[in-house]
Amino acid sequence: MKIGIIREGKTPPDNRVVLSPDQCKELLAKYPLAEIKIQIQSSSHRCYSDQEYQNAGLTLTDDISDCDILIGIKEVPMDLLIPNKTYFIFSHTIKKQSGNQKLIQAIIKKNITLIDYECITDENGNRLIAFGRFAGIVGAHNGLMAYGKRTGNFNLPRIKDFKNFEAMKNFYRSSSLSFPRLNIVVTGTGRVASGAVELLDFLDIKKVSKEEFLSYSVSSIELRESQPVYTQLTSDDLYSRISDGGFDRTEFHARPELYQCDFKPYTSLTDIMLNCVFWKKGIPPFFKVHDIHLNWFRIKTIADISCDVQGSVPITLRASTIDEPVYGIDKNTHLETAPYLPSSVDIMAVDNLPNELPRDASNEFGEKFINLVFPELLKMVGGDANHGSEMIDRATIVKNGELTERFEYLEDYAKN
Q: What is the pLDDT of residues 100-155, one digit of tens each?
A: 999 999 999 999 999 999 999 999 888 999 999 999 999 999 999 999 999 999 99
pLDDT digits (tens, 9 = 90+) for 319-331: 999 999 999 999 9
Beta strands in 69-208 (DSSP E): 69-71, 86-89, 113-116, 183-187, 206-207
Measured between alpha carbons, how far is 127 from 133 in angstroms, rounded to an integer?
13
Decide: residue 152, CB within 10 A, 0-12 exposed, 13-18 middle, 19+ buried. Answer: exposed
Measured between alpha carbons, how far is 397 from 288 in angstroms, rounded to an integer?
34
pTM: 0.89
Q: Is the domain defined by 132-356 classed in CATH 3.40.50.720? A: yes
Flag whether pLDDT at 383 surpasses 50.
Answer: no
Give residue 177's pLDDT band: very low, low, confident or very high (50, 70, 90).
confident
Flag whether pLDDT at 384 surpasses 70.
Answer: no
Q: Is the peptide bond before 12 cis (omega within 30 degrees of 0)?
A: yes
All structural domains of the chain with their residue ranges:
2-112+357-415, 132-356
Q: Is the domain defined by 2-112+357-415 classed in CATH 3.40.50.720? A: yes
- Reported as type and span, the H/E element at residue 211 is helix 210-214
Measured between alpha carbons, how far is 357 from 314 in angstroms, rounded to an integer?
28
Domains 2-112+357-415 and 132-356 share a fold: yes
